[in-house]
Amino acid sequence: MKSRLKSSIYIFLTVFIIDQAVKYGFAHFNWDVQGSVMSLQLAYNYGVAFSMFSFLAHYLKYIQLGLVILGTLYLYKNQDVFKEYYFAIALLYAGGLSNILDRFTYGGVVDYFYWHYLFEFAIFNLADVIIDLAVVIIIYKQFKQGKKSNNKVCEN
């Protein structure tokens, strides 16, 4: 358990620091670049995914922080879940807490990836990609475990 905790802390810190450094660059050094398929363009998201709930802009940081605290309490009480999903959890916390820190620091989440080839997509950031990756890993592991339990049931 201790090695998984150490690994997850290392993963968390690495991803969190990289994400915050990139966001700082966009927020303070005008790193905007226009491309034909995708652009790097500073935008602030005051809501959640696709700017939903932007009317809660001031309160979202507290709501999200509360959810992180509840998730942490759940993981503390269910350490077997943490053991199984520590890598994905580290990614999820790094991306989530980085976006929450943006809300406290900049008033909104710093976004900068802007896809605009053939269709326009919401502007997003590295933390969003990391969160999505964590969710994909969790779903994959759940699917894999489900197949294993189905095979055991069929064998009996």
Residue 128 catalytic? yes
Phi first, then psi: give them for residue 107, nearest 5 degrees: 90, -10
Full DSSP string of 27-41: HHH---B--SSEEEE
**Which residue is catalytic, options 19, 80, 102, 111?**
111
Q: Does the annotation mark 102 as catalytic? A: no
- The helix/strand/coil state of 53 is coil
Q: Can you spell out the DSSP letters for 82-143?
A: HHHHHHHHHHHHHHHHHHHHHHHHHSSEEEEEEE-SSS----B-HHHHHHHHHHHHHHHHHH
Which are the catalytic amino acids?
111, 128
